[in-house]
Amino acid sequence: MPQDGPDHLDDAVLAALFTQRAVGLAVLDPQLRLVHANSLVEGVDTAEYLGSRITDVFRLDDPDTTEQLMKRALAGEGPVRDHLVRGRLRRIPGDRMFLVSAYRLDGPGGGDAPALGLLAAVVDVTERERARTREAALAAVRDAVGHSLDVAATCRAFVDALVPGFADLAVIEVVDEVLRGADPPVGPLPPETPLRRAASGRCGTVRDTGRAGEDARRSLDGATRRLPLRTPYALAVADLRPRLVPLTGDTPWLDADPDGARAVAESGAHSLIVVPLTLRGAVLGLVSLYRCCAAEPFDEDDVSLADAAGTRVALGIDNARRYEREHIIASTVQRRLLPQVEREQTAVETAHVLLPGRDSGCWYDTIPLSGARTALVVGGVAGEGLQAAIVMGQLRTVVQALAGLDLEPEEVLARLKDTTDRLAHERAALPAGDSLQSEPLSAGCVYGVYDPFTRTCTVARAGHPAPLAVGPDGRPVALDVPEGPGLFSADSALFAPTTVTLEEGSVLALCTAELLSGDRAAERITRTLARPDRSLRQLGDDIVYALPEDTRSAGAALLLARTGTVSDHRVATWDLDQDPTAPATARALVRDRLRDWGLDEDTVEATELIVSELVTNAVRYGTPPLRLRLLLDATLTCEVHDGSTAAPHLRHARTVDEDGRGLFIVSRLASHWGARRGRDGKVLWTEQELPAGG
């Protein structure tokens, strides 16, 4: 090898480096001025910029940070490696992204001597960063969209995912009928179809027209419009294809859309992508994406990304629409299955609050029972949608039927759990592919009976919160009700009731678990109830006003009851001897009292016969003590109590039988009749409808 070979090799290496076009190389003096360079990147004429500062050559957005890093390299603090900067080139429009590395050039004295300058390597990574930005934007849409079953929230998440990373301004509009749960129309979208703006967003660099302009923009969310014909928006929903639309130069279609033209001018938008939101050939809406001011215009790769993102949000909107429609149906079913009118009870005042929400399985009920008693019921089936509402209706019907049998609260819940066990078994027997197989059943119920004569309330509960109660003086009343197993649980434990004596004017609150969520919820509700000067309706409203925000979206039921007694003027009670004279005595007592109450003779005669048969039955088959009670309210109630727990049964006597016709006669004369057992015997009772004005 020739002696001067290494020098020639060095020259060859330098020549190769400074003539290649993959990496821009620049030699900078200590003042960071360009003294020698290769062609750098396309669009920069080296000779034109000799003597200029490197930050001016590439017109960097943040030149100060880059200069500080290079000065540290000059000072010997280490090289700059892969510093990502944003800038612009004179002959290439739009922003460019560069990776900059800088290395100190030492003189003959090495690192101890002042640096001769820097060798800077500049790589144009604009396309790589654009691809990365597109990937990040699509990933953001995938992460953000699809987690909510609310159309507005889905659209808002979509806009937030794309602005400002991908677009400076985004608007998403949905076909108005789709927002109401209707099926989307099959494309092409008919002209003049109203679209409602579901969400919009813009980055801080978009031109503003002041606070008034911002308020005007926000007020457009929720507004409807019909797409002007012969515009990119109308064409996109006509042929169901996305469009890349430059907004610079001649744009005659803006003449057909004055509002759009004004918005484009105010925002400084220069590039537009319009994407129809389609799914299985149906049109759900339209997405409009804008880039404004100095931002890089959209290209065809951006259109592909916007189209993929539009497919994602269209699926999210459709899922939310389907859920909304099912929720509407479930809410309608729930409302129809709940009491349609307030029932006026004999000795208890009630009011309810039903909060609409995701939970469509909660219910309440007030059921009049014999003897002026009232059953108070609140329950809930866990889950959303139509199936929860259907199961709720089944359980409410069963509770009403069981209440009519005059069973004790713990017996009602035991029979109700038998029913839910059968329902769970039927669901488990469905085919493996049935969607109900994946929906577990869970429900709870609290059932209480208030007796105005003893002023007692007997309560049992199945996987449900216990009632809350306050006395007429506002003091809390302890209701320690043992929790029984949930209605669909495998637990076979027994239900244990609790009986509490309540003063007249006490308030009971039965509610679903959602109302008891949050810190010290029971204390908050009890404190609200301790206001005897307010009506039950006002108390229910006050409880709702104090709820945490997240409780209201779940849905809940609240039943309030204020206890009372039966007026002495409307009730009569007699103790009778357990002997054959008792029926005659009872007839005389009843006749006099009914005439004092002003009832007509037909009612008096029918009641005498009813009472005679009931007392005769108690004398013949019952045991002491024997008691007769009349109650005058909306109906006339007759009750005969004796110490035996054996209840009679209605039967049809044969022609030759001399007895056995008593209960048959009673059933013909009374509107309703029955027998209920207690801890000290049984009661035979009847109810008679009173004539109008009677």
Whether residues 352 and 478 fall in one domain? yes
Cross-strand bridge partners of residue 387: none
Whether residues 81 and 172 fall in one domain? no
Number of domains in the chain: 4
For residue 2, what pLDDT is reported? 47
Residue 333 placed within a domain = no
Quickly state the pLDDT bin for 653 (edges 50, 70, 90). very low
Strand order in the sheet with 243-246: 224-226, 194-202, 169-175, 282-292, 269-279, 243-246
DSSP 110: B
Domain boundary (300, 327, 354) is at 327
CATH number at residue 141: 3.30.450.40
Quickly state the pLDDT bin for 206 (edges 50, 70, 90). low
CATH number at residue 584: 3.30.565.10
For residue 492, what pLDDT is reported? 85
- Cis peptide before 164, with omega less than 30 degrees from 0? yes
Burial of 279 (0-12, 13-18, 19+ CB in 10 A): middle
- Over residues 655-670, mean pLDDT: 66
Quickly state the pLDDT bin for 147 (edges 50, 70, 90). confident
Burial of 638 (0-12, 13-18, 19+ CB in 10 A): buried
CATH number at residue 102: 3.30.450.20
Residue 391 placed within a domain = yes
pLDDT score of 605 more than 70: yes
For residue 267, the SS3 value is helix
For residue 322, what pLDDT is reported? 84
- Over residues 263-290, mean pLDDT: 91
- Over residues 24-52, mean pLDDT: 76
Closest CA to 117 of 159, 75, 68: 75
Domain boundary (301, 327, 353) is at 327
pLDDT score of 126 more than 80: yes
For residue 350, what pLDDT is reported? 92
pLDDT digits (tens, 9 = 90+) for 458-470: 999 999 999 999 9
pLDDT score of 654 more than 50: no
Phi and psi at residue 631, to the nearest 5°: -135, 120
Whether residues 276 and 347 fall in one domain? no
Name residue, tokens 């308030």: 507
Closest CA to 111 of 146, 144, 76: 76
Whether residues 271 and 358 fall in one domain? no
Query: What is the number of other CB atoms lying within 10 angstroms of the CB of residue 683?
Result: 21
> What are 363's two structure tokens?
């219910």
Residue 335 placed within a domain = no
Torsion of CA 232, 236, 237, 240, to 10 degrees: 170
Whether residues 621 and 502 fall in one domain? no
- Over residues 480-491, mean pLDDT: 91
Whether residues 239 and 224 fall in one domain? yes
For 31-42, letters b (16+ CB in 10 Å) and e give: ebbbeebbebbe
Can you say how many angstroms the Cα of residue 551 is from the centroid of all Cα atoms in its chain?
9
For residue 547, the SS3 value is coil
Whether residues 120 and 134 fall in one domain? no
Burial of 310 (0-12, 13-18, 19+ CB in 10 A): buried
CB-CB contact of 338 with 377 (8 Å): no
pLDDT digits (tens, 9 = 90+) for 573-591: 999 999 999 999 999 999 9
For residue 310, the SS3 value is helix
- Over residues 228-243, mean pLDDT: 91
Whether residues 116 and 135 fall in one domain? no
Closest CA to 621 of 665, 672, 660, 678: 660
Residue 334 placed within a domain = no
- Cis peptide before 339, with omega less than 30 degrees from 0? no
What long-range pairs does 243-252 form, CB within 8 A, spacing at least 24?
243/272, 243/273, 243/274, 243/303, 244/271, 244/272, 244/273, 244/298, 244/299, 244/300, 244/302, 244/303, 245/271, 245/272, 245/273, 245/274, 246/270, 246/271, 246/272, 246/297, 247/271, 247/272, 247/290
Residue 594 placed within a domain = yes
CA distances from 687 to 177, 286, 292, 348, 455 (A): 53, 65, 80, 19, 22
Residue 338 placed within a domain = no
DSSP 520: T
Whether residues 347 and 300 fall in one domain? no
> What are 435's two structure tokens?
């969607």
Strands 507-511 and 556-563: antiparallel
Which residues, at least 6 apart from 132, have a Cβ–Cβ distance to it below 8 Å?
none
For 375-395, letters b (16+ CB in 10 Å) and e give: bbbbbbbbbbbbbbbbbbbeb
Which residues, at least 6 apart from 464, have a Cβ–Cβ distance to it below 8 Å?
378, 379, 380, 444, 445, 446, 483, 512, 513
For residue 505, what pLDDT is reported? 92
Residue 347 parent element (H or E) = none
Residue 336 placed within a domain = no
- Over residues 635-653, mean pLDDT: 78
Range of the domain at 584: 568-689
pTM for this structure?
0.66
Whether residues 407 and 518 fall in one domain? yes
Residue 337 placed within a domain = no
Burial of 465 (0-12, 13-18, 19+ CB in 10 A): buried
Closest CA to 608 of 622, 623, 593: 593
Domain boundary (514, 532, 563) is at 563
Whether residues 601 and 624 fall in one domain? yes
Whether residues 361 and 505 fall in one domain? yes
| More confident of the two residues 3 and 168 | 168
| More confident of the two residues 334 and 114 | 114
